[in-house]
Structure 1
């Protein structure tokens, strides 16, 4: 069964707290970004080893496996965007349709252990790229197709919210 596509633009989380998961963008410090990215994957291996990892709790909610695939792919997109922002200016981001990716990649049929390994590796690479951001690069910009401007810093805030929010979706605490 296909889940109703997401229509909400979550960009507001770069300036406002999320009532669903408790994320507060004002708690994201540059010095902690890499550690928060890495910490966000703690617990996923346990979630992915559960017997009902492929079961959807209802017709409108992804299974834990599907959430893990989404988080892995979101990290890949954010890593690509960050890398582009650090290497050229101006940068215009390619659109990413997370719902089409879920269907096209058949998230529900992927191997949980493999997804867990890929998720950990993606987070490690993303965290390392943020660890290498120099002081003079935090205000570099990337432009979404809807003309929303992200900086290197606000991209981190946006991504960390997604990472921590989806932990809650699968029953983990938002932050370790």
Structure 2
């Protein structure tokens, strides 16, 4: 595995710790408050990150099993409503995120070079590799953990 990929997986593995540091001194009722202008609050961001790992893991499975599978676009705003994110218990969400992320990292560490080159695609979009999928996960982490930080400052 390349050094860059190892570094990326290491950073992905540290995301739950970063989340924990961001929320640790805040009461649950604050973490459950809606964000500015009715946007996502802290627990909704946390739950999204947890659930997005499931989507990534499912896509990874299909990319490893099928030739260039097609994936549908997801609607995280709808998830937030349907899954009642605002009522989640922050410590539970963090624990579930940590467990899911550890399992995903373990799985990624066991991939060979050919697996990292496997592809999938979104409708009417070019194919992307497992490498691209995981880089996108990292970028998603950064965006949402920064939003969480800004919300709690």
- What is the TM-score with the length of structure 1 in the denominator? 0.75
Structure 1's consecutive aligned runs of 4 or more residues displaced over 3 angstroms after TM superposition are: 46-49
Q: Per the alignment, in what secondary structure is the counterpart of residue 149 of structure 2?
A: coil
In 2, are the aligned partners of 1:95 and 1:144 still within 8 Å (CA)? yes
Alignment of 1:24-173 (within 5 A): 29-49=4-24, 50-51=26-27, 52-171=30-149
More helix by share: 2
In 2, are the aligned partners of 1:47 and 1:64 still within 8 Å (CA)? no
Rounded to whole Å, the distance in 2 between the matches of 1:154 and 1:89 is 16
In 2, are the aligned partners of 1:82 and 1:152 still within 8 Å (CA)? yes
Equivalenced residue count is 145
Q: What is the Cα-based RMSD across aligned positions, in Å?
A: 1.8
Rounded to whole Å, the distance in 2 between the matches of 1:105 and 1:57 is 17
Q: Per the alignment, in what secondary structure is the counterpart of residue 162 of structure 1?
A: helix
Q: Per the alignment, in what secondary structure is the counterpart of residue 67 of structure 2?
A: coil
> Which 5+ residue runs of structure 2 have no aligned equivalent?
none
- What is the TM-score with the length of structure 2 in the denominator? 0.86
Rounded to whole Å, the distance in 2 between the matches of 1:125 and 1:148 is 28
In 2, are the aligned partners of 1:33 and 1:127 still within 8 Å (CA)? no
> Which 5+ residue runs of structure 1 have no aligned equivalent?
1-27
